[in-house]
Amino acid sequence: MSMDHFIDRRTFLASLGALTAGAPFAFRSGRPPFWPLGAAAGLPLRARAQAKGLLYGSSTLVRYLRDDKAFSARFAEECGILVPEWELKWEVIRPAPDRFDFTAPDFLAAYAAEHTMAFRGHPLVWHESLPPWFATTVNRSNAETILRKHIATVAGRYAGKVHSWDVVNEAIDLGGGRPDSLRASPWLDFLGPDYIRIAFEAAAQADPHALLCYNDYGIEFKWPKEQAKRAAVLELLRRLKSSNVPIQALGIQAHLRAGDPGFSVQELATFLRQVADLGLKILITELDADDRALPKDPATRDQAVAKTYESFVSVALAEPAVIAVLTWGLSDRYTYFNKMRPRTDGAPARPLPLDADLKPKPAYDALARAFDAAPARPGPSAQK
Ligand code: XIL
């Protein structure tokens, strides 16, 4: 069957968005693709998104869902798509050069299916979270074989169950000094810029159903560095599209800074439209709001985080090509900030929609308003 046929199906699925969260999987499981909508007043985020043909969800880890029943219940209630925060990375699923361990992602894929959620893969190719054996095993002569085998095995295992894959993550680095702004990485060193095409073609072959994304950060605000990075990302997307690389979407990580005055509605809207004009869908893939620059007072931080969410997400959802919003965690109970970017005053970070007690924060209400105000995407749910 021609690739065109699959791309058509992918486009169809992408434009359906949450209308059929986890469609291929939900249909196959025989469950209805629609999540039963809750009471009108307290509609969960996944239902508000679905009502507009969108997906809302979050990253998570196995232990959060397996060991914290209260959290698992809230995650299932609020999220229409799940992405493994860490457990599809090489350092987790590749314990040895000749071994794969899918225990963790299998649990997450099964959880998503059980709760009629779409499942997102992240990432197939990244310069970080590589296993210890990588540096002493992979070289110029075997890199392509190892890369192709990884993608064929991992994307092949979940073929038909994945809504979208971050095929290549964070390949642009302006500091690298290259005319194409590609980041120095083992993949670039061993295979040259062509590693990106190789990865997308291998992913398309392994799973013709998934939406194939390029994912990056630092492209959300109006500061010169972010303007330059947006231009470099756009150039990369144009090169890939003009070379007929099978890419269907851009992932914008949206690790935002709460209180940062550098947000420009016009610049973001223009960028999103430029990406959409390439025929690409757009996903907001890792939304959170860093509150380290703000005073300690929780209420002050919560208001600033909510304002940052609402200004960014409302502009994003005004672009019809945007099909999904995922936060990088659902609750402050499990944000990665406390581990990787702690506040100097030691106060727990407050970057996410739910607080550490799983209660909605102003950021949750901001997301709810943004989904409620978003233009409906074409498709069955919009005709409800
Ligand atoms: C981070 C996770 O949050 C951590 O738990 C993990 O240890 C390292 O990766 N951009 C990305 C994500 O694309 O995969 C990163 O997630 C955060 C930055």
Q: Which atom of ligand 1 is nearest to the CA of 215?
A: 13
Ligand 1 atom nearest 285 alpha carbon: 13
Q: Is residue 1's pLDDT more than 60?
A: no
CA distances from 239 to 195, 247, 261 (A): 13, 11, 32
Which amino acids are annotated catalytic? 170, 286
Higher pLDDT, 35 or 255: 255
Number of the ligand 1 atom closest to the C-alpha atom of 129: 8
The answer to whether 259 and 306 are in contact (CB under 8 A) is no
Q: Which of 165, 286, 327 to mutate to test the pocket of ligand 1 (most atoms within 8 A of CB)?
A: 286
Distance of CA 293 to the CA centre of its chain: 25
Residue whose CA lies nearest to ligand 1 atom number 7: 86
DSSP 8-state assignment for residue 113: H
Question: Over pLDDT 90: what percentage of the chain?
Answer: 87
> DSSP character for 22?
T
85 CA distance to ligand 1 middle (Å): 6
- Average pLDDT in the chain: 91
Place of tokens 């310069």: 127
Q: Whose CA is nearest to atom 12 of ligand 1?
A: 85
Q: What residues does ligand 1 touch, defined as CB less than 6 Å away?
A: 85-86, 129, 169, 253, 286, 336
How many A from CA of 114 to the centre of ligand 1?
A: 25
38 pLDDT above the threshold of 70? no
Using the mean position of ligand 1's atoms as its centre, give its distance from the Cα of residue 89 in Å.
9
Residue to probe by mutation, ligand 1, list 58, 63, 64, 85, most atoms within 8 Å of CB:
85
| Residue-level pLDDT at 7 | 43
- Cα distances (angstroms) measured from residue 331 to each of 306, 324, 360, 367: 14, 19, 9, 14
- pLDDT at 14 (0 to 100): 53
**Farthest CA pair distance, the chain:** 59
CA of 253 to the centre of ligand 1 (A): 10
| CA neighbours closer than 13 Å in the CB half-sphere of residue 180 | 14
Name 289's bridge partners: 256
Buried b (16+ CB within 10 A) or exposed e, 239-256: ebeeeebbbbbbbbbbbb
Task: Give distance in angstroms: CA of 69 to centre of ligand 1.
Answer: 24
Which ligand 1 atom sits closest to the C-alpha of 122?
A: 14
> pLDDT tens, 257-303?
999 999 999 999 999 999 999 999 999 999 999 999 999 999 999 99
Residue 183: what pLDDT? 98
Nearest to 34 by CA among 49, 16, 21: 21
Report which residue type is found at 338. N
Residue 382 has pLDDT above 50, yes or no: no
